[in-house]
Amino acid sequence: MVSLGDKQLVNYDKDQYGELYRNHILEQYKIYVEMADRVSQRRMTANSFFITINTSLLTVFGLFKSEMPFWWLLMPGIGLIVSFAWFSILHSYKQLNSAKFKVMHEIEKLLPLALYDYEWVKLDNGKRKRTYWPLSHIEKIIPVLFAIIYVITVAAKILF
């Protein structure tokens, strides 16, 4: 049985469970893979939301920056907070997906083919950018770039 500390992935072996053991493992695996896909979809939705928020903030800032006092500090401050929240959420999704794929790799030990595990090996476990650069690493750059834009905006106002 596959275990992690006092927690086990497999609650029953085939003899304890009965003749539908393999079928039920496969069905649970299918559902679990679908749930991992839904996490990825939610991550993409979050990315769209935060890109919209950041571009809206920059647009509103550009339109009204000269008409309101402290606008040049308030809007970039809000933008920095939004960018930090976005980065943190992306990190959380990365952790969640990493855990889901580890579980899928463990479930695959009970199945005839270990497709996700084999694919990950083919991608050098995401360790070499030339072979594969995980999306979670790439997408974290975008909130950092927005944060840099907000810092430059404040710095430019202070310096000029």
Q: pLDDT tens digit string along 108-125?
A: 999 999 999 999 999 998
Q: pLDDT tens digit string along 119-158?
A: 999 999 888 888 898 888 889 999 999 999 999 988 887 8
- Count how many Cα atoms sit within 13 Å of the Cα of residue 83 in the half-sphere of its side chain: 23
Phi-psi region of 132 (alpha: psi -120 to 50; beta: other; left: phi over 0): beta
Question: Kind and range of the H or E element at 8?
Answer: strand 7-8
CB 103 within 8 A of CB 9: yes
pLDDT band with cut points at 50, 70 and 90 for residue 4? low
Mean pLDDT, residues 13-35 taken together: 93
DSSP string, 32-71: HHHHHHHHHHHHHHHHHHHHHHHHHHHHHHHHHTTTSTTH
pTM of full prediction above 0.75: yes
> Which pLDDT belongs to residue 111?
92
CB 127 within 8 A of CB 45: no
Q: Is the pLDDT of residue 5 over 70?
A: no
> Which pLDDT belongs to residue 102?
93
Q: pLDDT tens digit string along 46-96?
A: 999 999 999 999 998 888 766 666 778 888 999 999 999 999 999 999 999
